[in-house]
Structure 1
Amino acid sequence: MNSQYKPLDFDHLVALAQTKPQVLERYLRLKVNQIINAAKPENRIHLRRLQFRIDAVRYRAKTPLAACIKISQMMHDELWCLKEVLDGSRDSVNHPGPANTSVTDNSKRSADKVIPLSRTGRFKA
């Protein structure tokens, strides 16, 4: 059936969610699998693991809103981890060791604007 590969518009998705949620779920699974299969082979395992975690959160949540909040918290935790990695790499540039003496003087750099992130706690699925 060729129609299952055509993207659906928002109104059609809303109608499916209200009348046939199981059909919408199958359609979303199909699209997720298409995206994962189109990814680079070295990224597919990571994407499948991530989708497994998302599915587990959705399955365990009592309501769709609760699932959305938990998945959002999971995304914020990953963003926080990325921030920590980036801050660590910035520290290594600001405080070079004896082997890295060719780093430019930070006083000549323009001041960067850093957006502070607050951490409320690690995600627990």
Structure 2
Amino acid sequence: MRLARSDPEGFEARRRQLIEAHIAARPPEDRERLRRLQWRIDREIQRHGNPLGACVHLHRWMFDSLARQQQALETLLNGASATPRQTARVVPLRPQR
């Protein structure tokens, strides 16, 4: 946090260096996918004007992606839609006495 505040360019250079080192340490078949994923993350960070907005957006994006993957896995395992049907009976509200 101190580096980001005192030297934003240095922080960004260090961030990119660590990300690239992590990607380079992965098996070759994973690297291209990880670089594309990081490119998308970087574009989302650029698009938002502040770190908190970017964090919230990326969190939502990753949660949605995880939910879609979970639904696809459940569909494969169950052979049917993973989204359960829900029914409900509407109960009229009565004024309290």
Equivalent of 2:56, from 69, 72, 75?
A: 69
Partner of residue 30, structure 2: 43
| Alpha-carbon displacement from aligned partner over 1:23-72 (angstroms, at most 9, x marks no partner) | 01100100000001111111111100100100000001021111001111
| Alpha-carbon displacement from aligned partner over 1:68-123 (angstroms, at most 9, x marks no partner) | 0111111111101211121112213x8xxxxxxxxxxxxxxxxxxxxxxxxxxxxx
Equivalent of 2:13, from 8, 26, 30?
A: 26
What pairs up with 1:95-114 in 2 under 5 angstroms?
none
- For 1:61 and 1:25, the matched residues in 2 are separated by 16
Q: Give the structure-2-normalised TM-score.
A: 0.77
* Structure 2, unpaired ranges of 5+: 81-97
**Which amino acid is 2:53 matched to?**
A
- For 1:84 and 1:15, the matched residues in 2 are separated by 41
- For 1:27 and 1:15, the matched residues in 2 are separated by 13
- For 2:58 and 2:45, the matched residues in 1 are separated by 8
- For 2:75 and 2:33, the matched residues in 1 are separated by 23
Partner of residue 87, structure 1: 74
Runs of 4+ in 1 over 2 A off after TM superposition: none
Task: Please give the secondary structure, in 1, of the residue aligned with 2:21.
Answer: helix
- For 1:17 and 1:85, the matched residues in 2 are separated by 39
Aligned pair count reads 80
**Which amino acid is 1:46 matched to?**
R
* Structure 1, unpaired ranges of 5+: 1-13, 95-125
The RMSD of aligned alpha carbons is: 1.3
- For 2:63 and 2:45, the matched residues in 1 are separated by 17
